[in-house]
Amino acid sequence: MDIKEKLIEKALLVIALSSITILALITFFIFEEGLPLIWKVGPRAFILGNRWVPSQGSFGIFPMIVSSFWVTLGALLLGIPLGLACTIFLCELTPRSVGLFLRPAIHLLAAIPSVIYGFWGLVVFVPLVRNYLGGPGLSILSGSVILGFMILPTIISISEDSIKALPRTYKEGALALGATHWQTIWRVMIPAARSGIVASIILGMGRALGETMAMIMILGNAVQMPSSFLDSARTLTTNIGIEMGYASGDHRQALFATGIVLFVIIMILNSAAIVLSRRRAGG
């Protein structure tokens, strides 16, 4: 019996480490393919360059970095308030019968392919932006709105689990001290569930930064420095998705180098959010 338990323990350890191994292999492959181009062009010229013309040997990705941040910021500005509002409604305000209907509907949003979101945005939202706000319609605003809806299931489901995991004494104690229902939610429950809410935002931010297909369809894919939310743009992920099929030589290596920059940006943002969350929790 002891031998079987040890074998099962070792097998589970191998399975657990397999995901880390796969991530390490992917990271190694991306860096191996992309770093030579970065050193050839120069890190400063590659990251801060404004011209992306691979046929002429120009590999500047700064407009795409800025566009990625604009689209992600717009998605978070929509997704965080709406996601938290839906979470509070599901946890504290909705009747049980309504919750039984809404929760599966929200989870279903996560199962919808991104190309469907992109097609809906292209047919419905892009013409609205073009007709009522101006510009080409294929813009950062359109992409931000679609991404905002795409990250909602992640923010809502994880935040809801975090709030539901709180001890009932938190709510009962606040109500016993004379706090209103809303004061209890806003002043007690949400701060107590902060770590889970921040985790949901981090995952939503990663989803927004990494989305490709829907953004290819909606952003307009113009390699330019955006000056407003109504401008067309191209993000780091859409650049890789559009050009990887026909790239070769330095062009192909430049796309892997773009992946390195995206990888580093996501790691920095995630680390900063985790550190910020821990500091606030400690304070």
Homologous superfamily (CATH) of 62-282 is: MetI-like (1.10.3720.10)
Kindly tell me the sign of the dihedral angle through the C-alpha atoms of 216, 218, 221, 226: negative
Characterize 43-81 residue by residue with b for buried, 16 or more Cβ atoms within 10 angstroms of its Cβ, and e for exposed: eeebbebeebebeeeebbbbbbbbbbbbbbebbbebbbe
Q: Is the pLDDT of residue 82 over 90?
A: yes
pLDDT in tens, 107-150: 888 888 999 999 999 999 999 999 998 888 899 999 999 999 99
Three-class SS of 47-77:
HHCCCEEHHHCEECCHHHHHHHHHHHHHHHH
Q: Is the pLDDT of residue 235 over 90?
A: yes
Q: Is the pLDDT of residue 258 over 60?
A: yes
Radius of gyration for the alpha carbons in the chain, expressed in angstroms and rounded = 22
Phi and psi (nearest 5°) for 59?
-130, 60
Q: Quick one: tokens of 152?
A: 């909602």
Q: Which residues contact 179 (CB under 8 A, 6 or more apart)?
A: 187, 188
Considering only residues 241 and 281, tell me which one the structure prediction assigns the higher pLDDT.
241
Q: Is the pLDDT of residue 1 over 60?
A: no
pLDDT at position 272, please? 72
pLDDT in tens, 196-211: 888 888 888 888 888 8
> Quick one: pLDDT band at residue 76, thresholds 50, 70, 90?
very high
pLDDT at position 232, please? 92
In contact, 231 and 248? CB cutoff 8 Å: no
For residue 229, give the 3-state DSSP assignment.
coil
